[in-house]
Structure 1
């Protein structure tokens, strides 16, 4: 190599080195680095206060609980916060004798609450057990993009995991068992009479629901997907509930769920007859798809008993334009498929079943 060639190579190396050193990070890279640097993990051990760590957290932070039992209720009002337990060993939250705050007074375990003007956004609750609360294990109101994952809610007095006035939620891979009412409960509102709310795509998937009065209740909502859940040992597995209000409940998808042997007995209430042997029940719903589900061995003699049942709501609202197709519905009593109202436009096709009301739908 000549002296001139050596000089040219040296200049090129110097220019490349200078350029690499001087190039500023792109705006997204800088923002990501800044966000990562500002996120804090708040670690809590049994005997320490979860609420104190939550109150100290900022958006983007995580509150991580060591395995063990915590005796308190927790309120989350900060957006983009994660509360999680250990995935290796149980992290259990139960009522505390000296617990204070609105969440504890109301009888809930974990509360995620926003306001009409400022919903709580992007909160994640995961890998916890919520047990023995007088009302609900987890209660959420006015949230956007709430994720509840790998949570066990058991032996709570009312609902295991419940929410209202919320959109774009993901409830997945949870276990809800032995709760006084529904294992999972999603609703437009719980304290006023209003039309159905468009959830903008709430997803309820891969949950295990057992031993509850009702496995899952979806009440006065639109645009919800319920798929790949298992419900067994409840009095009723899945209730989709609407009424005469407008917008009407509906535009939902119930697909690929396994609903079997929901034969626990629950006495009547002021709103419902006794429950036993109900698989998937639609009351007062419209434009809902029920497809690809296995609904088996749900047996009872309640007016709501059966595999897949269409029943007019108790305020007289009819089911209309629902599609029931490609389900396996077998050994259910009093019928595998039952159309027990006078709503129009409901279709049953491609289902594998033995007995239907009226006859001829199998």
Structure 2
């Protein structure tokens, strides 16, 4: 990597590489020849597995595991001291100076397996114009995939699988042209969170689309504990604004399919939850607020809500402002099982790799994500 010039492909043979990798050159393609057998191993003593600050660069067809912060990080933050556990969502993090560190332009992660990392598996922070696709995350103590602090983001997260994480996919202060499409988010503590947060710049979060995802059985007792104690929630919207949730299958989440609430002074405003299949055997929606600020929940099946009934202003899209009859309540889901250490989550099975990895032409991350066709993402089929 130290010798690579812009436009080069670095092809990596099978092996366990006990090192951290930094890609600071533009338009590099880092590719493993075998997704499961090319492994960047942090040995639970290195911070990040792969850190990408070179615009237009790509990481594909390999595994990152056992790091004290992130498996794969795409970022415009070039200060190495800020790329560790305190950067972007960590407990010691302060909002980033976005003028000093402008967003990374152009990135892609394809066919990446990330597991047993202390914060995030695949982490796009202060980065835009990118794609995270066909990848897998398990055993992260925070989230399997995270998109944070970008506006506009112009980023697509598609056709990934996340399981056995504290949170499957997290979108925080990530706004405009964010598309989370066709993912399988299952068996985490919480499936998907959409948040506004004062720990990052560029709040509030707004204008993202979540279409065609399967968000199921997020009641996993073989996962790290979620920071706020969340468990059994399919989708948590905390202070997110003007987001669209459509044609998602949300099932088997023991507390609620959707939770809508205000956080840190950010009201949840104008979120449209329409045309999903919410089948929990329990609550479909919990509204933890005294008012609904233009949110709506319509055509999502017959699962009960809290409060029940919902005010009519909330049941027709687009929604209207209205006082809630009472704030909703999350149901008790029994004894929440203790979390496991991220170090102890079993390795995942081998995941499908890219075809002909040794000879396939390189595709730097230029002019991404391209045209996004939401209509192509149908409501997923029920579980069999």
Alignment TM-score, normalising by the size of structure 2: 0.69
Determine the structure 2 residue equivalent to 1:130: 64
Q: 1:328·1:353 contact (CA, 8 Å) conserved in 2? A: no
Describe how 1:275-290 pairs up with structure 2 within 5 A: 275-290=230-245
**Post-superposition shift, 1:356?**
1.2
Cα gap change, 1:267 to 1:76, in 2 (>3 Å) = closer
User: Structure 1: which 5+ residue stretches go unaligned?
Assistant: 1-53, 98-103, 114-119, 189-196, 301-305
Q: Would you say 1:260 and 2:194 are equivalent positions?
A: no
Give the direction of change, closer, same or farther, for the CA distance of 1:162–1:88 in structure 2 (3 Å limit).
Answer: closer
Number of residue pairs the alignment of both structures matches: 278
Residue 2 of structure 2 aligns to a residue whose secondary structure is helix
Provide the rounded CA distance (Å) in 2 between the counterparts of 1:201 and 1:325.
23
Structure 1 segment 246-325 matched on structure 2, within 5 A? 248-265=204-221, 267=225, 269=227, 272=228, 274-300=229-255, 306-313=256-263, 315-325=264-274
Q: Identify which of structures 1 and 2 has the higher relative contact order when contacts are C-alpha pairs closer than 8 Å and 6+ apart.
A: 2
Please say if residues 307 and 332 of structure 1, whose CA atoms lie closer than 8 Å, have aligned partners that are also in contact.
no
Call closer, same or farther: CA 1:332–1:166 in 2, change over 3 Å: farther
Output one character per residue of 1:196-225: Cα deviation in whole Å (capped at 9) or x when no partner: x31341101111000000011110110211
Q: Is the 8 A contact 2:13 2:34 kept in 1?
A: no
What SS is found at the alignment partner of 2:70?
coil
* Contact kept? 1:219, 1:242, Cα under 8 Å: yes
Query: Structure 1 residue aligned with 2:4, among 53, 57, 65?
Result: 57
Task: Name which of 245, 267, 285 aligns with 1:337.
Answer: 285
User: Which portions of structure 1, spanning 4 or more consecutive aligned residues, are displaced by more than 6 angstroms?
Assistant: none
**Change in CA separation of 1:268 and 1:258 when aligned onto 2, cut-off 3 Å:** closer
Tell me the CA shift for residue 332 of structure 1: 5.2
Mapped pair 1:72 → 2:22? no
Question: Aligned partners of 1:149, 1:93: CA distance in 2, in Å?
Answer: 15
Larger Rg: 1
Gaps of 5+ in 2: 77-103, 316-384
1:90 aligns with 37
Q: 1:213 to 1:76 in 2, by over 3 A?
A: same
Which aligned pairs between 1:134-173 and structure 2 lie closer than 5 A? 134-142=68-76, 143-173=104-134
Query: In the TM superposition, what is the alpha-carbon distance from 1:144 to its structure 2 partner?
Result: 1.3
> What do you get for the CA RMSD once the two structures are aligned?
2.0
Q: CA deviation at 1:324?
A: 0.6
The residue aligned with 2:51 is 111
Cα distance in 2 between the residues matched to 1:228 and 1:262: 17
Deviations 1:296-337 (A, max 9, x none): 00114xxxxx10111111x1321111111000001254x112
